[in-house]
Amino acid sequence: MAIQPLEQTDVPEPQGPAPLPVLDRFERALRDLRISVTDRCNFRCRYCMPREVYGDSYDFLRRDDVLTFDEIARLARIFAAHGVTKLRLTGGEPLLRAGLPDLIRMLSAIPGVDIALTTNGSLLARHAEALAAAGLRRVTVSLDSLDDAVFRAMNDVDFPVASVLEGIAAAEAAGLRPVKVNAVVRRGVNDHTIVDLARHFRGTGNIVRFIEYMDVGHTNGWRLDDVVSGAEIVRMIGAEMPLAPVDANYRGEVAQRWRYADDGGEVGVITSVTQPFCGDCTRARLSADGSLYTCLFATSGTDLRAMLRGGAGEDEIAAAVAGVWRVRADRYSELRSEATAGIPRVEMSYIGG
């Protein structure tokens, strides 16, 4: 039997009457919105924006093509009216977007939403205090290994582990606790550092989540042989630091949770490849240029920016969003096979993870 859940940190307190949910074809409600505030990134992680494909002159969006803060806030209010309670700011690297605390303050004014941020941590030490003061509640930091040589090779810009750890410490000091640490695991690249990463954060209150290497986009050279399964990751950690399963905080939580048997905290595994969780997916994604995507593995999106800048009213945009979600039938991870390998999918750097 699973251990009872630890303290729930991901669920915002309800404020006022809950909006009527918008359901897709599989009765999945729209609850989470990932908002990419920029397609720019200062890393060149090989599983996301490999240098050998994009080089050093990546064709980023023009500034005028990117949604303004007012446009993002307007769309966020519309999504909240459809039942969204979680807003996560992503990129690219979101901290490259100037004035981000201003956007967070605007989003914080929307009743009933919880605001989080995913970052590579490179600029977090500089901005953590201002982000928290603006209303940010939680932060997730990508850190694929504590081995400095491995991490520098994976981010491919020679960025050191120590600076990311400095950012995590700054987030803790600013009250953005617990910090979640995401590590994408690729066989033969960083799988030998899994246990060290888990051991480092054990007992700190922060939560490491190991992510199976996914076939997002079509430029990262994904092969099934490169995937280290969540079950294998749990066995590796558990052999040194015994683990017990923990119930999910809420339906649709992407990470399987495991608690250290000696109460040293918890770790998670995200198993999109070996144990898909499409059936409970409540997430939509808004790209930096205002396209709505209903799956991380989508092939196309719906242009909301054109509606915003074309003078569409709130009701018209709200109807468009609801219409897209109601016909949604995405379940790519459940259908993943040789037949899906050649499908041209949107790149993760464009819509966030």
Structure tokens at 48: 């996301």
What confidence category does residue 1 fall into, taking pLDDT thresholds of 50, 70 and 90? very low
Which pairs from 254-257 meet CB under 8 Å and 24+ separation? Answer: 255/209, 256/230, 257/5, 257/6
Is the pLDDT at 342 greater than 70? The verdict is no
Residue 54 has a pLDDT of 61
Q: Is 343 or 300 the better-scoring residue by pLDDT?
A: 300
The owner of tokens 């066995």 is 235
CB atoms within 10 A of CB 20: 10
What confidence category does residue 60 fall into, taking pLDDT thresholds of 50, 70 and 90? confident
Distance from C-alpha of 126 to C-alpha of 167, rounded to nearest angstrom: 8
Q: Which helix (H) or strand (E) holds 75?
A: helix 69-81
Distance from C-alpha of 37 to C-alpha of 244, rounded to nearest angstrom: 37
What confidence category does residue 353 fall into, taking pLDDT thresholds of 50, 70 and 90? low
Structure tokens at 253: 């939580």
Structure tokens at 44: 């060149």
Range among 2-6, 220-224, 340-344 with highest mean pLDDT value: 220-224
- DSSP H helices in 82-175: 100-108, 124-134, 148-155, 161-173
Residue 14 has a pLDDT of 43
Residue 275 has a pLDDT of 83
Q: Is 215 or 221 the better-scoring residue by pLDDT?
A: 215
Instruction: Indicate left, alpha or beta for 55 from its phi (over 0: left) and psi (-120 to 50: alpha).
Output: left
Q: Is 69 or 224 the better-scoring residue by pLDDT?
A: 69
Is the pLDDT at 13 greater than 50? The verdict is no
Distance from C-alpha of 186 to C-alpha of 196, rounded to nearest angstrom: 15
* 178 upstream amide cis, omega within 30 of 0: yes
pLDDT digits (tens, 9 = 90+) for 264-291: 999 999 998 888 778 889 999 999 999 9
Across the range 163-183, mean pLDDT stands at: 98
Distance from C-alpha of 182 to C-alpha of 179, rounded to nearest angstrom: 10
* pTM across the whole model: 0.88
Q: What domains are there in the chain, each with its CATH number? A: 32-351 (3.20.20.70)
CA angle 266, 267, 272 (to 5 degrees): 145
Q: What is the mean pLDDT of the chain?
A: 88
CA angle 312, 37, 308 (to 5 degrees): 5
Burial zone of 344 (CB within 10 Å; 0-12 exposed, 13-18 middle, 19+ buried): exposed
